[in-house]
Amino acid sequence: MTADHKRPEDVRAALLAAAEQLIEAGPASEVSLRACARLAGVSHAAPAHYFPSKAHLMAAVLTRAFDDLSDRMEAGRAASDGDGFDRLKAIGLAYIGFALDRPNVYAMMFSTPYPDGADGEMAQAGARASSILAEAVARTERPPTVDQDLGVTFAWVNVHGFVSLLHALKPGSGASREATMAEADRMLSLMAPAFRV
């Protein structure tokens, strides 16, 4: 050791990468700060120099994950060429695809109690994903009983709820990704009456 004065910001990146890797590998609750440090090749107290607490490290990982999620939602939107509801559904399917690909990270995003001061960057990253959904809802034609807020709630509830269903019954997880996405499509289609005139 002691010969590792490589580059200044490398350690931070290595810690983030290690944390991400550990989260993806195992159950969220079994990720330890010390294991991240070990994997990153630094001492067990090194993380403290970059993140005030473990929760802040996790928040940093989740911030990046939120960006990934947003990117996928935008990609889904771009790939859709139907009407407003089709676009909304495509975004929802992209959302579900993200949760399928990174289940442990996804679970953390919506179960972790965020650090005290609420990492500003993460709130912003979450807001981006949220606004993509809101905008897609705004572009649908809805019956008078469905205002913007209720529409957003309904849409998010369905995509997130579907993901939760998969997680709750995960042990089996027998279905292939294709079959799961097909089921998601069928279910999201049930929302149509709320987003078409």
Q: Among residues 20 and 80, whose Cβ is nearest to DNA?
A: 20
Token pair for residue 37? 């440090």
Q: Among residues 25 and 79, whose Cβ is nearest to a second copy?
A: 25
Going residue by residue from 112 to 141, which x/- string records binding to a second copy, judged by CB under 8 A? -x----x-----------------------
Restricting to residues 26-45, which ones interact with DNA according to CB under 7 A?
A: 31-35, 42-45
Q: Among residues 43 and 143, whose Cβ is nearest to a second copy?
A: 143
Q: Of 13, 25, 26, 49, which lies in the binding site for DNA, with binding defined by CB under 7 A?
A: 49
Which of the listed partners (a second copy, DNA, none) does 44 bind, with a CB threshold of 5 to 8 Å by partner kind? DNA
Burial 126-158 (b: 16+ CB within 10 A, else e): beebeebbbebbeebebeeebeeeebbeebbeb
Does 165 participate in binding a second copy (rule CB under 8 A)?
yes
What residues contact 28, with CB distance under 8 A and at least 6 apart?
104, 107, 108, 111, 112
**Could you please report the per-residue DSSP string of 53-97?**
SHHHHHHHHHHHHHHHHHHHHHHHHHH--S-HHHHHHHHHHHHHH
Q: Of 48, 100, 146, 181, which lies in the binding site for DNA, with binding defined by CB under 7 A?
A: 48
Q: Of 12, 103, 134, 156, which lies in the binding site for a second copy, with binding defined by CB under 8 A?
A: 156
